[in-house]
Amino acid sequence: MLTIRFIRTVNIFILLICYSSILSGQTIGVSGSVAFTIGEKDLIPEGITYDPATRQFFISSINKEKVVAVNEKGTARDFINSGQDGILQTLGMKVDLLTRRLWVVSNKDASNSHQSAVHVFDIETGKLIKKFILKKDTAHLFNDIALTTSGDAFITDSYSHTIYTVQADLTRLEQFAESESFLGGANGLTVSPDNTMLYIATGNGITTINIKNKDIKPIRQANNIAAKGIDGLVFYQGSLYGIVNSVEDERDMFVARYMVSKDLTEIIGMTIIDKGNPLFNLPTTCVIDDDYLYCLANTSLRIFFQDKTNSKDMMRDPIILKYKLSE
Which structural domain range is residue 13 located in?
A: 4-324
- The secondary element (H helix, E strand) that includes residue 234 is strand 230-236
The confidence score (pLDDT) of residue 41 equals 93
Q: Which of 28-32, 77-81, 292-296 has the lowest mean pLDDT?
A: 28-32
Phi–psi pair at 13, nearest 5 degrees: -90, -20
Q: Is the pLDDT of residue 315 over 90?
A: no
Report how far residue 41's alpha carbon sits from residue 249's, in angstroms, rounded to the nearest whole number.
Answer: 21
Ranges of H-type helices in the chain: 4-14, 301-305
Using only the alpha carbons of the chain, give its radius of gyration.
Answer: 18
Alpha-carbon torsion (312, 317, 318, 323), positive or negative:
negative
pLDDT band at 1 (very low <50, low <70, confident <90, very high): very low
| Residue 45 to residue 65: CA distance in whole angstroms | 10
Please write the tens of the pLDDT for every residue from 70-79. 999 999 999 9
H or E element at residue 108: strand 101-109
If residue 323 lies in a helix (H) or strand (E), which one and from where to where? strand 319-324
Residue type for position 313: D
pLDDT in the model for residue 302: 86
Q: For residue 183, with 0-12 CB atoms within 10 Å meaning exposed, 13-18 middle and 19 or more buried, which class applies?
A: buried
Residue 67 sits in a domain whose CATH number is 2.120.10.30
Amino acid residing at 139 = A
pLDDT of residue 139: 81
Q: Are 142 and 106 in contact (CB under 8 A)?
A: yes
Q: Give 282's DSSP letter.
A: S
CA 261 → CA 148, 168, 288, 292, distances in Å? 20, 29, 20, 22
- Kindly report the CA angle at 77 between 43 and 300, in degrees rounded to 5? 15
Lowest mean pLDDT among 37-51, 83-97, 300-314: 300-314
Exposure class string for 56-85: b at 16+ Cβ within 10 A, else e: bbbbbbbbbbbbbbbeeeeebeebbeeebe
Q: Which of 194, 202, 153, 148 is nearest to 178 (CA)?
A: 202
* Residue closest to 200 by CA, chosen among 166, 223, 177, 222: 177
Tell me, what's the pLDDT at 18? Answer: 33
The reply to whether the predicted model has a pTM over 0.85 is: yes
How far is CA 146 from each of CA 73, 92, 112, 149, rounded to the nearest angstrom?
A: 27, 9, 30, 10
Q: How many domains does the chain have?
A: 1
Amino acid type, 298: N
Mean predicted lDDT score pLDDT of the chain: 89
Assign 16 a pLDDT band (cuts: 50, 70, 90). Answer: very low
- Those residues whose C-beta lies under 8 Å from the C-beta of residue 213, and which sit 6 or more positions away, are none
Q: What's the mean pLDDT in 254-260?
A: 97
